[in-house]
Homo-oligomer: A and B are copies of this chain.
C-alpha cells in the first residue's frame, strides 16, 4: 500500500502540494471550488495528515499534557481520572489531544521532568492536583505554558483554576446554621491539602459571621501525613452537624454513626463536598457541593489555549463557584 501524502493528492489533481496544504488547513490562497475538490479527493484516497511533519514547521504539537500524581489515582475510582476525561473531551473540541502522564513519587523526588515535556510532545501542561512543592518549583521553569488545576501555590506566578472551596465551605456551613445548627464539627485534616484548608476556612468564616465560637475539639482529622484516610474519631458529645471535607469521608462517617445507632438526619446532620457517587449511594443521600467541573475544565482549556498563543498573558487565580446540591442529610432544628 503506497504511502499517500499531499504530493499524491496534488499529482492526482494536477496541482501543487502548496495548494493542497492550503485547501486542507482552511488557509486562504485557494479558490473555494479547488478547496472542495481537494478535500474530496483527500477523503477518497484515505489521506491522513502527518501531524508530525506539520509540527516540525509550526512548532505546535496540538497536544496538551495532563499531569497527575500517582498518589491521587491509587483508587480505582479516582476523581482526577474523570476530571482528566473531561479535559480531554474539551480539548478535542479545539482539535487538540490530551496526553495524560502519571507522575510517580520517585519521579517527583528525583526531579525528572515529565516525558511529554522532555520529548516536546505537548504545547502546554495542566497539572491536575498538587504535586510536591520542590517538583512544582522545578516545573515552573519550563518553556511552555503551565497551569495548575484544582490547587494553587503561594508565591507562584502560575495561573490556576480552582473550585471556590472557601466560598462553598462558607455557604454550606451557613446553610447548616440557618437550619438551626450551632455545634458543627468539621471533618478533615486542614493541613493535608489547600482544598481542605480552604473549605475549613470557609466553615470558620461562617462561624465568625454568625458569632459562633470555634470549638477546636470538634475539628477532626480524617487522614494521616501521607494523605491516607484514617478512622474518624467521633466526639464523645455528638455535635448536631458535621461538615465533612468530601463526600467519601461523609459516607464513611455516616456508616460509622449509623452503626453507633445514630439516625441521620434525625439525630445529626451531615454534609460533604464533591457531589460524587458517595453522596448518592449513601442512605440518606448527602447534601453536598457540586464544583462545576464542566466550567472549571472549559476555563482551563480556554486559558491554556490563550497562553499558547500569547505566552505573556497572566490570569492569576481563577475561582469557579460551586453549587450546593440539597439532598436528604440535613434536618432543620430549633
Q: Mark A54-96, 1 if CB is under 8 A from B, else 0.
A: 0110000111000010100101111101101100110010010
Q: Are A48 and B117 in contact (CB under 8 A)?
A: yes
Chain B residues with Cβ below 8 Å from A61 are 52
Contact B277 A75 (CB under 8 A): yes
**What are 25 A-B interface contacts by the 8 Å CB criterion?**
A48-B117, A48-B120, A51-B52, A51-B119, A51-B121, A52-B55, A52-B56, A52-B61, A52-B120, A62-B119, A63-B99, A63-B121, A75-B82, A76-B82, A76-B276, A77-B77, A77-B277, A78-B81, A81-B81, A85-B100, A88-B100, A88-B102, A99-B99, A251-B281, A255-B281
Cβ-defined contact, B79 with A92, below 8 A: no
Q: Which of B70, B99, B252 contacts A98 (CB 8 A)?
A: B99
Contact of A121 among B68, B79, B97, B115 (CB under 8 A): B97
Which residues of chain A have a CB within 8 Å of any CB of chain B? 1, 48-53, 55-56, 61-63, 68, 70, 73, 75-79, 81-82, 84-85, 88-89, 92, 95, 97-102, 115-121, 143, 251-252, 255, 259, 276-277, 281, 283
B73 touches A82 (CB 8 A): yes
Residues of chain B lying within 8 A (CB to CB) of residue A100: 84-85, 88, 98, 100
Known: A53-B56, A120-B51. A76 touches B76 (CB 8 A): no
Q: Are B85 and A102 in contact, with the CB atoms below 8 A?
A: yes
Given contacts A52-B120, A78-B82, contact A99 B97 (CB under 8 A): yes
